[in-house]
Structure 1
Amino acid sequence: MPDTEESTRQESVARATERLRLAESRLARRRQTDCGPSENARAAMRFVYERSDADEDVTPTAIAEHLGVSTAAVTGILDRLRAGGLVTFRAHPSDGRSKLVVPVDRSVDLDDIDPLTAKIRRLSAGLSEEAMVEIAGFLDAVADEVDQECV
């Protein structure tokens, strides 16, 4: 017979994870209509900034691969980011058919683009290193399972 205390803990984690997934889903819907750039646009900006900071070139194809979306979807995202003055394009130095995506103002703080991530970072500051590793591993495993659902 399974340990009822362990079973209760597992159920508690499952319920908390489901609350997180539902909250994320509600946030994604709000961001689509009420709250500035979409989650994919925010993730694209983080990717562009991180690569820019690492002095690496970024192409729309690389963004699409990073986000797991089509290049057509990235074109729409980049058009909106460009219209918002956040990115611009320049010719790829070695591929005349390609373009590079570059941030317009690199002084912008990523926390301003994605304040929720900044809040999560602050929440995690109170955790032990061991707890951070465990939680990150658990959330990565949950994300992998979500990504495999209905494929």
Structure 2
Amino acid sequence: MTLETGIDQAMTAARAVERLRLAEARLARRRQSDCGPSENARAAMRLILERADAGATLTPTEIAQSLGISTASVTGMLDRLRAGGLIDFVANPSDRRSKFVVPFDRDTDPDAIDPVTARIREFALGLPGDAADQITAFLDRVREVVDAECA
């Protein structure tokens, strides 16, 4: 492979990542108004289900910390999820002032909460092992750059 070919391939990959980031931003905007629960609500549901599956408890404050949002935002979001029949609250037996967040319907399929993730998982299953490893390493480095921005 020539240097020019390598640069062209790198630029093609960088443009693909930029298209992905733009698509994610468009999806986040659509989800805020048109498309069901917000991205934060979906992330909270995944966290709630993961903790329940692990037999662990979860408080609204822990959700706020995990998502990097205010507890006030989490309170409103959890109220909407509860109204939608997805979660419930149970009293913390060691501290009656706090509560745990639990999934209301444990038969909820996590892929139904975020069908985009389910489709991506399907695509990933078709990748050859070496390609999956290379893509994972590349995307992890991209994520590190995104996470470091304005941090």
Q: What TM-score bracket applies, with the shorter chain setting the length?
A: over 0.9
Q: Where does the alignment leave 5 or more consecutive residues of structure 1 unmatched?
A: none
Residues 1:134 and 2:134 aligned together: yes
Name the Cα RMSD after superposition: 1.4
TM-fit CA distance, 1:111:
0.9
What letter is aligned with 2:30? Answer: R
What letter is aligned with 2:44? Answer: A
Matches within 5 A, 1:25-104: 25-104=25-104
Runs of 4+ in 1 over 6 A off after TM superposition: none
Seq. identity, %: 60
**TM-score, normalised by the number of residues in structure 1:** 0.93
TM-fit CA distance, 1:13:
0.8
TM-fit CA distance, 1:136:
2.2
Instruction: After superposition, give the CA deviation of every residue in 1:96-149 in whole Å (9 maximum; x if it has no partner).
Output: 221100000010101111111110000001112332232223222212211221
In 1, distance between residues paired with 2:90 and 2:26? 36
In 2, distance between residues paired with 1:118 and 1:74? 25
Instruction: After superposition, give the CA deviation of every residue in 1:60-103 in whole Å (9 maximum; x if it has no partner).
Output: 12211221212122112111101111001011122222110000
Residues 1:110 and 2:130 aligned together: no
In 2, distance between residues paired with 1:45 and 1:137? 27
**TM-score, normalised by the number of residues in structure 2:** 0.93
Q: Alpha carbons of 1:105 and 1:25: their partners in 2 closer, same or farther (altered >3 Å)?
A: same
What letter is aligned with 2:54? Answer: A
87-96 or 29-38: bigger deviation: 87-96
Instruction: Say which SS state the counterpart of residue 65 (structure 1) adopts.
Output: helix
Instruction: Give the aligned partner of residue 20 of structure 1.
Output: 20
Instruction: Give the aligned partner of residue 120 of structure 1.
Output: 120
In 2, distance between residues paired with 1:108 and 1:20? 28
What letter is aligned with 2:111? Answer: D
TM-fit CA distance, 1:17:
0.2
**Corresponding residue pairs, total:** 150
Instruction: Give the aligned partner of residue 8 of structure 1.
Output: 8
